[in-house]
Amino acid sequence: MRSYIASVSYYLKSPTLLFMFLVIVSIVIARIAGLTTLDTLILLMAFLGMAASLNIIMGFAGYVSFGHAVFLGIGGYTYVLLVYFFSPLNSLQHAAGGIGAFMVAIIAGLICAIVAASVGAAVLRLRGAFFAIATLGLNFAVLYIVKGIVPTLNPEQFFAAQVILPARALVHKSLIFNAMVITLTVILLTNYIIKKSRFGMGLIAIKEDEDAAEVLGVPTFKYKTLAFAVSAFFTGIIGALISLNGGGVDEAIFRVGHTIDMIVMIVIGGLGTALGPLVGGLIYYWLYDLLLVHYPGINLMILGVLVALIVLFAPEGVIGILRKYSIGKVKLKDVLE
């Protein structure tokens, strides 16, 4: 009992968990107070969730996946087709104030995890640029498979692989918001737990020197495959809820730009940290929204220059910068994950 209380006290004192908790609570308060639209909050959480999902394979294990948007696409199409064709799942997504939608999204996430584990048997034997190119090729391969198969499921409705949900399959945005809050909370906690676990230490060892890690007894292939599958699982859930929020899905969800967004967010925040995706996602989303409003047309160019400066002068991201400082007698490197 004492050990349980001690462990709970430890986690409650963790600045990382506290910051995660405050971000989630702030989003909920913004929703209750009506400070912004539901769409804005859902998109913000989607950005944070995508970054934290990719962090599992890229941040911890060091494998840069340039085709991670493929799991957004698989998750989105799986979810939309499930609720379109199966009435019980359509009924479920309307139930329990968002929990039902989250449960259906889990099915989509599991499909993504299975695909990732299957494909990982081949692509995870590659490293560096070869792995990145392979994942990018996977993205295009699945896109063309979807474009070839989906329109045949309902030729009158699914024109050019665009699936528009009918009114019976639409869900109120408040339920999608609740489902996204649950999803983001689970993803952030998973990042924190992985960082603290033996599994996480194994992934970090792989990133530092995979050959040395294998010699020291780390089951590198097993760990990489599991990390890739978990990352794909959460990315698929995000893709499912994004598609539900949009009232349907089309091939744009496979856009490589989504993967670039994920990579940029964790680079800004700090690779391989539990807080990096959250901090980087908040900064990136604010910059993205600000520049899009004030500098349309050249917003991406400005953002690209800012990211290049961060990579050149602060390669460890915001968390890496903060770790160099202290607050009183507390060294931030001792408390920031």
Which pLDDT does position 86 carry in this prediction? 93
- Residue from 201, 158, 182 nearest 101 by CA: 182
Give the start-end residues of each E strand in 40-168.
Answer: 163-164
Query: Which of the pair, 10 or 147, is modelled with greater confidence?
Result: 147
Model confidence at 289: pLDDT above 60: yes
CATH of domain 2-335: 1.10.3470
Domain extent listing, the chain: 2-335
Give the tens place of pLDDT for each residue, 27-60. 999 999 988 899 999 999 999 999 999 999 999 9
Distance, in Å, from the CA atom of 221 to the CA atom of 63, rounded to the nearest integer, reads 12
Beta bridge partners of 191: none
Query: Is residue 113's pLDDT more than 90?
Result: yes
Helix 69-85 vs helix 256-269: angle between axes, to the nearest 10 degrees? 120
- Tell me phi and psi for residue 315, to 5 degrees: -60, -20
User: What sign has the CA pseudo-torsion 94, 96, 97, 102?
Assistant: negative
249 pLDDT above the threshold of 60: yes
* CA–CA gap between residue 176 and residue 187 (Å, rounded): 16
Contact 70, 139 (CB under 8 A): yes
**Pure H helices in 154-219:** 173-196, 198-208, 210-215
- Closest by CA position to 185, among listed 33, 285, 49, 18: 49
What does the pLDDT read at residue 111?
Answer: 96
Say what angle helices 99-123 and 69-85 make with each other, to 10 degrees. 130
Average pLDDT over residues 101-114: 96
Percent of the chain scoring above 90 in pLDDT: 58
| Better-scored residue on pLDDT, 38 or 155 | 38
Please state, in angstroms and rounded to a whole number, the distance separating the CA atoms of residues 54 and 326: 29
d(Cα 103, Cα 109) in Å, to the nearest integer? 10
